[in-house]
Structure 1
Amino acid sequence: MKYPNVWTPAGGCEGGPGSRSGRAGDLVGRAAEVADLRAALDGHRLVTVAGAAGVGKSRLAAAVAGPRAGGPWRAMVRVRWHDGVPVGPGALTARVVRALTAAAGDPPGPRNADATEAASAVSAGGLLLVLDDVDPVHTECAGLVQRLLMAVPALRVLVTARRALGLGDERVVRLAPLAVDCPAGAPGPSPAVELFLSRARGGPPLTDDDLPDVTRVCRLLEGVPLAIELAAGQLVEGTVCELATRLETDQCWLTGPGPLLRRHRSLRASLGAVHALCDETVRRVWHRAGVFAGPFTEAAAVQLCSGDGIEPHLVPSCLAVLSAAGVLQVIGEPGVVRPHRYRMTRAARDFGAERLSRAGESQEVLVRHAIHYRGVAAVAETLWNMGLQHQAAQIVLDEHDELMALAGRPQGRTDGSDESAYTTNALEAVLHLWFWWAAHERGAEGSRLLLGLLRHVRTDSPLVARGRWLAAWLITAQDPWTAQRLLDLAWPTAVMAGDDALLGRIAHVRGTLAWQRRDPEAATRAYRAAADTIPEGAAGGPRAAVSLAALSVVQAQSSPEAAVRTAHRALARPDNHDDAWAAALAQYALAHADHRAGRTGRALRRVHRTLARLDAEPGAAPQARTALLRLLDHIGRACGTSPEPAGVRRPFVPVPRAGAPAPSTAPEDSRQG
């Protein structure tokens, strides 16, 4: 199916591309909002349409309160605060008086004419006063509206602004961006995609094959109609896929010809209009908070944004102002047990990053960001080592966007002469999260981040050996040659430093590599050395119980009784009691040994009990849970209780590979470590 590239001059969003006089045009995906606004005007004397810049507030108001819209009023007077009008005391009042006087057919009066008298002269039979785009005169507007409503009973007022007036009888209709995804089972494209298709111009007609890229563009633009219309006008210069790729790095470059209001001619100008109405402290908090890649807490913002002239106690109020202006979105409810979070829109982040770079503060703020989230990662690791593993995983999930952004933008030099404080803190954060990469089957992601950061760190840094060991552990299944090379580089540093924990963990990875090479003798020696070398309670990596569990599985192939004794040793270690992941792996090893020794019923009971304990703490050790489920499936098939279709033979991996997801296929006697 082809979608013709249609350009509707009257359809610009809130004065957007093609909108010459603020006419309503068509309202794509706004049927519910139109109904809500009509109902609000029927039942309330003061209604405010509030929302962020570019969501279509003026368009919605024009559609509902237009001359032919109908309603409980006989006359409608509209006053719009255009760009370029100087703001002074009483400026809005003077414009309202002139508009009301003209509507009454009277000659212009003196500049200080009373607004209530002018409104009373027009209000016979009902009057709707529309005050559009009043953000530059927000305070004066609130006072004027309050006086008019008290003095003129037949008056109704409709206001469009980024935030509500805050008056007692005010009914607020909040306008959100367009939905990017359709509800399940809904026919046709989503409202955001439909708007893009209707505004696309230039280039070949769009087809069904382009819809995924169109959806991607709309998602990157977060459903903001003005941004979507500006983006749709860029197809003259490239494809939708190229447009989406460019929008991933920056959005403020979007521009479009024609709109009457200057702030709607580009996304940068639209955000600049909001920026101009903020005081200097709020602006600087905006710039610095633009470093956050995802949702963030008030405490994180205070640490990142305070300093250099901004007192910590001022940051929360600045966040509230930015939320009211639509720059920040509030996630969660203020005052509840779980702290609410803020999230900055992508376009506002890009705008803030530009201003932060222009002020020369980018590097300093990025280092603060890295220091803060290195501390967050350290807290998560501490909770993991204390046995609060579900809470540790929850912290990583809550801060996932920031932690991934932290590790994904190294700031050091590539010649090895020096590394930045940002990169050092980022590498420490990734190392603190070893449990996330290993126990939560995120090995590919963790190794990619580690290898990217290690390129920007001096080779004599004490963090490099730990980074090489962890990267090697995470890629043993995918790239054993690189893993072996990384271990060879990390070993001398660990020996010179006398780091027994690191030496033991290097031995563990060597055991895994030997097991993959089908060398059980070498694997046994390496796993035993790891279990004997890793000190009790050593932080920064897996405990000795994990090495004992791996040793038990290796022994089970030739000596099930020795494997049972080794697994019991793993379970008996004092530091294993608070580690649900290590304990589950030890139970896996013991169940595997029981199964190899012919005690299948005992193995099944052990697996079910361990899975029940893991179910009581969801998310604590998904890697161990996966290994147990695979063992359960294997035992069931071996006993004939889980028949396979003819000709189909599922794999079984006898040793759970910590730090990497199990392969989808492997021979029955594969030796994965």
Structure 2
Amino acid sequence: MTQCGNLPVEMNTFVGRTAELDEIAKLLTRTRLLTLHGAGGVGKTRLALKAAQSIRDDYPDGVWVAELSSEMNGDLLAGAVAGLLGLPVQAERPVMESLTAFLADRRLLLVLDTCEHLVGPCAELAVAILTGAPDVHIIVTSRQELGLPLEIVKVVEPFPVPPPEAADLAEYDAISLFLDRARAVAPGVRTDERAMMAIARLCRRLDGVPLAIELAASHMRGLSATQLADQLDDRFKLLADGDGLPVRHHTLRTTAGWSHELCTPAERLLWARLSVFPGAFDAESARGVCEDERLPDVPDVLASLVAKSVVARVGDQYRLLDTIREYGRDWLGELGEGELMVRRHRDHYLSTALRMGTEWYGPRQLEWACWAHRELPNIRTALDRCLAAGDHRAALELSGALWVLWCYLGLVREGRYYVDRALATVGAPDPARSRPLWVAAHLALIQGDMTLARSRAEESVESAQHYGDADAEANAYIRLAGHRLLTADPDAARSYALRAAARFREAGPPDSPAPLSVPLVLAMAAAFGGDLDEAVEILRETRLRCEARGELSHRALGDYILSLALFGRGEVAEASAAAREALEVKWRLRDMVGSALAIDQLARIAASAGDGYRAAWLLGAAQRIWIAFGLPGPGALTSTEPRQIAAVRATELIGEAAYTRAYEEGAASHIEAAVAYALGD
């Protein structure tokens, strides 16, 4: 792997846990599956990440962290982990099979963080990986054990707290944690004897639970340690039992409630509303979902919650820790706003997805691609909530509105999962089906399912004509054209493309730019029909149009087709440059189909240029992509003959043994290494 993992940067000081870190390192020499088990707020995640950081040099293929608190759908767990590793599994090959094949010869550490709501799927995933990938180790953090025979469980306890008679308070990690976090908000924190005794009393009251201690310390800006301890004492007395003893298992919830009381009404309301987000969110989404006449200034209130450690800021995003989110969700229910906020969350992502579709063929493609990949947890949650609640029409509209994500940003399999489920719940006739049907046709084409692609596209045409949806009809014709191209009927493909052009003109305003998909289909039809000069002319004109709009995705597809045509005309250097430009953009967008096709094309070019080693290496790398990603292979998208010719030529150039070695090197490479090599000279 060229990457060494995705361990997050530490946002503040790690305190204590020296013995636990040593024990985890030793346990991982005895087991490949270690579960850090403990209550919420006890520090399981932070301990796992610190332990992983301390032993990362033992794993040449990296330490990879899958944060699962926002993943609600066990069916998509393997795909989420695959995507994390740069393996956005697509098509009909089982995801678990693709993932284990990818990991089979790698030595890495996988951290599955926050698994208690997905114990069954996580256990299934762990067994599959550990069985198929002998050098992969897994650390799990969970409030519940996975229950596997090969699992070693390490219980994570709260920090030890000083007894009332303790003399040397500074040696306790609970005290050190409180002081470290308190100094971050109030640099002049007093540490005289009286203050230290109050801090010790406070840590005892909080049972040494790290998150509870951090929440308490965040209030030191306006209170002394003594005042803080007194207030917390009063809060706990409300929950004391008949003997006056606090209900210990309520420690963190009580501290969250106390922090809640110290918030303003606006802060409490935003805290509750933010609990609708399953994980991270940005300021724009917080404002779009939460702001209204009751809460008119979300950015300022959000900043206040960050200052009070209720909301954590990570880069340009924000998140609530799980326990804090659970408290907010309960409060949201008390306010009677639960269903309202779920609808607002859904509507925000639907409207944003629609805007992405409207602006996709323009200068904001990379910006929208980043948004879509970053917001996947929220998108999945919105879809899953719609399907679970029987809000089928909304699920259909949202799954169709996300066509950019499914069709052009690498989420083919996941798109098929959601679109097919949504279509199954809303029967014909219904106007909301027209767009999801052509999206399903597009995904089936990528997966090599020609029969389904044709039937979905034809049904989309019928639905769109019935309801007067010219845009959906035009897009369905483009997919029928693609079907004809891939079934060797370029004349029929040209006819469908021209029909699409006419419907696109009817769909848009008179001054709207012509769609870019039509000339690309016409260029492919010309190239596949043998008229390379016409194809080159169309493509060069289309490239200028793409550049004028700042569009990248169709420009890159055009560059790939141009490379085919130029290579056919014997212009090898120009064909190589065009294929490299196509690969660079397709990889930036995580378009796996486009990336694999471009690498195959560069292998053909290398063979024709006499570089047998490079050709063999690239053929192996491309084949690994087709197989590992579960794609149908180049035979479903283009002729396999050029690839076979390239393999024969490379073998002639360097011999069978050298070809096999180079091919196997390429096949063993990570996708990022393959792309870097393909883009090099």
| TM-score normalised by L of structure 2 | 0.54
- Cα deviation for residue 135 of structure 1 reads 10
Q: Report the residue type matching 1:366 in the other structure.
A: V
Distance in 2, matches of 1:572 and 1:28, equals 53
- Cα deviation for residue 664 of structure 1 reads 4.3
1:475 aligned counterpart, secondary structure: helix
Q: Cα gap change, 1:647/1:589 in structure 2, threshold over 3 Å: closer, same or farther?
A: closer
Tell me, yes or no, if structure 1 residue 67 matches structure 2 residue 166.
yes
Q: Cα gap change, 1:483/1:363 in structure 2, threshold over 3 Å: closer, same or farther?
A: farther
* Partner of residue 419 from structure 2, selected from 427, 450, 453: 450
- Cα deviation for residue 344 of structure 1 reads 1.0
Distance in 1, matches of 2:40 and 2:611, equals 65
Q: Cα gap change, 1:159/1:433 in structure 2, threshold over 3 Å: closer, same or farther?
A: closer
- Cα deviation for residue 447 of structure 1 reads 2.5
User: Contact 1:437–1:443 at 8 Å: present in 2 too?
Assistant: yes
Q: Could you tell me which residue of structure 2 aligns to residue 284 of structure 1?
A: 269
Q: Could you tell me which residue of structure 2 aligns to residue 385 of structure 1?
A: 361
2:516 aligned counterpart, secondary structure: helix
- Cα deviation for residue 159 of structure 1 reads 11
1:410 aligned counterpart, secondary structure: helix
Q: Could you tell me which residue of structure 1 aligns to residue 197 of structure 2?
A: 129
Q: Could you tell me which residue of structure 2 aligns to residue 240 of structure 1?
A: none
Tell me, yes or no, if structure 1 residue 636 matches structure 2 residue 567.
no
- Cα deviation for residue 289 of structure 1 reads 1.2
1:296 aligned counterpart, secondary structure: coil
* Partner of residue 595 from structure 1, selected from 554, 560, 567: 567
- Cα deviation for residue 469 of structure 1 reads 0.9
- Cα deviation for residue 402 of structure 1 reads 1.9
User: Contact 2:559–2:581 at 8 Å: present in 1 too?
Assistant: no
Tell me, yes or no, if structure 1 residue 163 matches structure 2 residue 146.
no
Instruction: String of CA shifts for 1:304-350, please: whole Å, max 9, x gaps.
Output: 33447x3323x456545544554421223xxxxxxx43201223333
Spell out the pairing of 1:134-213 with structure 2 (5 A cutoff): 134=202, 161-166=216-221
* Partner of residue 519 from structure 2, selected from 548, 564, 570: 548
- Cα deviation for residue 455 of structure 1 reads 4.0
- Cα deviation for residue 279 of structure 1 reads 5.9
- Cα deviation for residue 166 of structure 1 reads 1.8
Instruction: String of CA shifts for 1:451-480, please: whole Å, max 9, x gaps.
Output: 233344464443320111112212224343
Tell me, yes or no, if structure 1 residue 512 matches structure 2 residue 488.
no
Distance in 2, matches of 1:547 and 1:370, equals 33
Spell out the pairing of 1:472-487 with structure 2 (5 A cutoff): 472-478=441-447, 479-487=449-457
Q: Cα gap change, 1:291/1:542 in structure 2, threshold over 3 Å: closer, same or farther?
A: farther
Distance in 2, matches of 1:606 and 1:619, equals 17
2:198 aligned counterpart, secondary structure: strand
Spell out the pairing of 1:14-163 with structure 2 (5 A cutoff): 59=159, 62=162, 67=166, 69=168, 128-132=196-200, 134=202, 161-163=216-218
- Cα deviation for residue 299 of structure 1 reads 4.4
Instruction: String of CA shifts for 1:51-108, please: whole Å, max 9, x gaps.
Output: xxx9999836639x97364779xxxx9xx9xxxxxxxxxxxxxxxxxxxxxxxxxxxx
Q: Could you tell me which residue of structure 1 aligns to residue 314 of structure 2?
A: 331
| TM-score normalised by L of structure 1 | 0.55
Tell me, yes or no, if structure 1 residue 408 matches structure 2 residue 476.
no
Tell me, yes or no, if structure 1 residue 362 matches structure 2 residue 338.
yes
Q: Report the residue type matching 2:441 in the other structure.
A: A
Q: Cα gap change, 1:670/1:358 in structure 2, threshold over 3 Å: closer, same or farther?
A: farther
User: Contact 1:536–1:575 at 8 Å: present in 2 too?
Assistant: no
Distance in 2, matches of 1:468 and 1:555, equals 27
Distance in 2, matches of 1:494 and 1:469, equals 10
Q: Cα gap change, 1:165/1:350 in structure 2, threshold over 3 Å: closer, same or farther?
A: closer
- Cα deviation for residue 596 of structure 1 reads 1.7
User: Contact 2:481–2:494 at 8 Å: present in 1 too?
Assistant: yes
Q: Cα gap change, 1:128/1:511 in structure 2, threshold over 3 Å: closer, same or farther?
A: closer
User: Contact 1:410–1:456 at 8 Å: present in 2 too?
Assistant: no
- Cα deviation for residue 165 of structure 1 reads 1.4
1:636 aligned counterpart, secondary structure: helix
Higher helix share: 2
Distance in 2, matches of 1:428 and 1:15, equals 38
Distance in 2, matches of 1:527 and 1:342, equals 45
Instruction: String of CA shifts for 1:233-274, please: whole Å, max 9, x gaps.
Output: xxxxxxxxxxxxxxxxxxxxxxxxxx9641425876665565
Q: Cα gap change, 1:411/1:267 in structure 2, threshold over 3 Å: closer, same or farther?
A: farther
Q: Could you tell me which residue of structure 2 aligns to residue 375 of structure 1?
A: 351
Percent identical pairs in the alignment equals 22
Q: Cα gap change, 1:56/1:461 in structure 2, threshold over 3 Å: closer, same or farther?
A: same
User: Contact 1:381–1:432 at 8 Å: present in 2 too?
Assistant: yes
Higher RCO (CA 8 Å, separation ≥ 6 residues): 2
Q: Could you tell me which residue of structure 2 aligns to residue 495 of structure 1?
A: 465
2:579 aligned counterpart, secondary structure: helix
Aligned pair count reads 457
- Cα deviation for residue 290 of structure 1 reads 0.7
Q: Cα gap change, 1:589/1:325 in structure 2, threshold over 3 Å: closer, same or farther?
A: same
User: Contact 1:135–1:161 at 8 Å: present in 2 too?
Assistant: no
Q: Report the residue type matching 2:480 in the other structure.
A: R
Distance in 2, matches of 1:591 and 1:261, equals 73
Distance in 2, matches of 1:626 and 1:670, equals 13
Q: Could you tell me which residue of structure 2 aligns to residue 586 of structure 1?
A: 558
Distance in 1, matches of 2:620 and 2:296, equals 59
Spell out the pairing of 1:462-473 with structure 2 (5 A cutoff): 462-473=431-442
For structure 1, the 5+ residue unaligned runs are 4-10, 17-26, 33-53, 81-118, 139-157, 171-258, 333-339
Instruction: String of CA shifts for 1:520-547, please: whole Å, max 9, x gaps.
Output: 44444334543554339959x9974334
1:342 aligned counterpart, secondary structure: strand
- Cα deviation for residue 366 of structure 1 reads 1.2
Q: Report the residue type matching 2:519 in the other structure.
A: L
User: Contact 1:290–1:350 at 8 Å: present in 2 too?
Assistant: yes
Q: Report the residue type matching 1:67 in the other structure.
A: A
Q: Could you tell me which residue of structure 1 aligns to residue 285 of structure 2?
A: 300
Distance in 2, matches of 1:355 and 1:68, equals 41
Q: Report the residue type matching 1:563 in the other structure.
A: A
Of the structure 1 ranges 346-355 and 581-590, higher mean CA displacement relative to structure 2 is found in 346-355
Distance in 2, matches of 1:578 and 1:588, equals 18
2:416 aligned counterpart, secondary structure: helix
- Cα deviation for residue 566 of structure 1 reads 3.8
For structure 2, the 5+ residue unaligned runs are 1-26, 32-36, 52-142, 144-154, 179-190, 207-212, 226-243, 643-681
